[in-house]
Structure 1
Amino acid sequence: MGESMDILKWLGQDMSVKIFTCLDDPFDLLRTSAISRSWRELGELAFVNYAIYLFHQLIGNGLCKKLCLRKFPEAACFARVVVAKDIREVSGEWASLEREHRVYASLGRNLMTSGRESCITDAVCASSTDRYPDESIKNTLEPSDRTFLGPSYWSSNGATHPSGSETLIYKLASQLCLITELQVHPYEAYFHEDCPTYSPKAVRFHLGYSKDPLEIDDEEADEFMDPKEYHEEMFVWSYSSPEFAMAQENLLQKFKLPKPILCIGGMLKVELLGRLQIAELDGLYYICINHVQAIGLPLSPVFDVEMIGDRGKCTLKYNPV
């Protein structure tokens, strides 16, 4: 065969196509371009067609959604997806699959982005407060242990037994947050003799949502709720962390979750387990906290959720920028 002989003309188009279909690696289609100009043109066309085929398989099988669910099982509560400002008024099964593909592909990219932001924005309520509002949970939003008004911390009611627990509930920066680490700083009472630290024995964290978000988001409501208004039935906790031991030391103690958790609903409960310190004034056990923080990645404004009833299902809203 002479140097000027085109292999496509020698084999014929049908035989060349059959050869292409026997290739195991789709990128081999591009490597055949070195054989001749005709094969390069045919190979590039075959590669494009193969890519289109793979794209349709990707959407039809919901691969992006499956990958998100595999990495973040919490996403199973998304009953449907909505794309804001979607100018393409297309309906039908394929349009729905394509929309899900776009949303979950974007969600997957965001969830794989590392984030070290502070995610707590508001203090909601505490299971008890010793001197309300001076020792309110609101004081735990700032890391400083004192202000120009005096000491700044949250304190539980006193208890006669060290086994009692307390809870602090916070609102996160977004209804969708990827949480990787929680931090708790127990309070050292520098104004008491010997400066005791009122730390709990252990801590556990819960992530979830409020059954009635409007009750918390109401602009006319107080900045935080009176402990008397608190009751556990207001919230649903979809994730609970392992129990972490706490040191009775005046320092910010960091607790990394076993894996990043997608918090759906934007609520955090800090469960303070057991008591270590007795107050000399009354002989009762107290827990006092200086600061609480959640570290991770808020996903707003690109993503938001709308809860559907109180069974944990929700609508995933996508707001492409």
Structure 2
Amino acid sequence: MENRKDFFSCLDSDTSLKILTCLDDPADLVRICCVSRSWRHYVIANGLWKKLCLRMFPQLFRVASVVELNQHGAKELAEVGSSSSVEWVVLQREHRVYSYLSRALMSSIAMNCIANTVGASSTDNFPQESIDNTLEPRDRISDRYSYWSSNGQSNPDVPETLTYELVSQICVITEINIQPFQAHFQNGAPIYSAKSVRFKMGHAKASLDAVDDEIFSWTYISPEFPMSQENRLQKFRLPEPVLCIGGILQIELLGRVQRQEIDGLLYICVSHVQVLGGSLSPAFNVDILEPSGTFVLKRDQMANCQPVMTSGSESPEVSYEQRARNVRNIVTIFRGQEEIVEDAWDEEEFEIDDFEEEYAL
């Protein structure tokens, strides 16, 4: 045992970094941090939690800085002197924020994330056929049909858009479901679907300038999905979960299929829309920085780090005392193996973040 040592000491820094960046499970990175002070220091110094989150969700490349609310960050910065000490405080803060974020991002999520409607590119009969009707899962309420209808067009290539505000400024979106409307009150009960759909996610701009009249900035644009001319809730699963930063989702309805008999014009009608995913609030929020489009990622230390409507997460009934006993057991296990590495931790000098305590279990 006395001949054994930390194998990272036998490797150059680039090789070690290449090995650790191959880890794609946050739990593995937590275990790395629990091995020794030197390994944990290496994870923090190289921003491995941040790198993992960026691989999981490229939308995070727009993060300009991270902030911890209800944290003694100002006191920390006031107590450090050199620029290197300040840099280390920043690295530790990013380590904490991104480690909690990775857990929130990896949790199972399933909820309808639409909070409000923003608007439609056109509406045939307002307010009877407004976009607000798409929030109702039923296509008929009492004796009234519930749906949104576009204006009629003779050109089948004229697109339409439906824009929604999500439940928070930072959400993970996995799937968008759309049900075209079937007009049972018309001859032949036609279905007014689009040929295909595409999804955009982003945020509203703070102001408009003379050369740019777009009111939204998009951080993600999906591939185009074909749409069936069927009266059912059609599911469009994104290739990968997407982090919507800014809380705005727009559905592009591309191509018109159904012509209305009474006027010979082409329409698109939708009875219901669902946006499935999860909100990362109140634990996380963002401040958009204009005009750059970057943002400040904020974590509230007092809030639960898990998304709304998660499954498979830790039960709220787990007491603090039980968590403390579990952590002590882990420390005991690692101490029993401390001969494996030369730089095993010292309990008085090495502290595991609360997140790492939970995740390592």
Q: Shorter chain as normaliser: what TM range?
A: 0.7 to 0.9
Q: Which residue of 1 aligns with 2:228?
A: 247
Q: Closer, same or farther in 2 for the Cα pair 1:212/1:190, shift >3 Å?
A: farther
Alignment of 1:113-132 (within 5 A): 113-132=107-126
Alignment of 1:208-247 (within 5 A): 208-212=202-206, 233-247=214-228
- Aligned partner of 1:316: which letter? L
- Aligned partner of 2:46: which letter? N
5+ residue gaps, structure 2, are 10-31, 78-85, 304-361
Contact 2:194 2:268 in 1 (8 A): yes
Secondary structure of 1:65's aligned partner? helix
Structure 2 CA distance for aligned equivalents of residues 134 and 277 of structure 1: 20
TM-score of the pair, normalised by structure 2: 0.70
Cα drift, residue 50 of structure 1: 6.3
Cα drift, residue 151 of structure 1: 1.2
- Aligned partner of 1:208: which letter? G
Q: Which residue of 1 aligns with 2:44?
A: 59
Alignment of 1:83-232 (within 5 A): 83-88=68-73, 89-91=75-77, 92-148=86-142, 150-212=144-206
Cα drift, residue 293 of structure 1: 1.1
Structure 2 CA distance for aligned equivalents of residues 276 and 211 of structure 1: 33
Cα drift, residue 121 of structure 1: 1.0
5+ residue gaps, structure 1, are 1-6, 8-15, 27-46, 214-230
Cα drift, residue 20 of structure 1: 3.8
Structure 1 CA distance for aligned equivalents of residues 34 and 139 of structure 2: 64
Q: Which residue of 2 aligns with 1:79?
A: 64
Q: Deviations over 1:165-204 (max 9, x none)?
A: 1001001111111111111100011111211110011111
Q: Closer, same or farther in 2 for the Cα pair 1:154/1:25, shift >3 Å?
A: same
Cα drift, residue 164 of structure 1: 1.2
CA RMSD between the two structures: 2.2
Q: Closer, same or farther in 2 for the Cα pair 1:313/1:48, shift >3 Å?
A: closer
Secondary structure of 1:164's aligned partner? coil
Structure 1 CA distance for aligned equivalents of residues 297 and 33 of structure 2: 33
Q: Deviations over 1:42-88 (max 9, x none)?
A: xxxxx999601111111111110011111111101110011111035
Task: Give % identity.
Answer: 49
Secondary structure of 1:233's aligned partner? coil
Q: Which residue of 1 aligns with 2:245?
A: 264
Q: Closer, same or farther in 2 for the Cα pair 1:236/1:48, shift >3 Å?
A: closer
Contact 2:33 2:43 in 1 (8 A): no
Q: Closer, same or farther in 2 for the Cα pair 1:233/1:249, shift >3 Å?
A: same
Cα drift, residue 148 of structure 1: 3.2
Structure 2 CA distance for aligned equivalents of residues 162 and 50 of structure 1: 62
Alignment of 1:19-58 (within 5 A): 19-21=3-5, 24=7, 51-58=36-43
Structure 2 CA distance for aligned equivalents of residues 25 and 307 of structure 1: 40
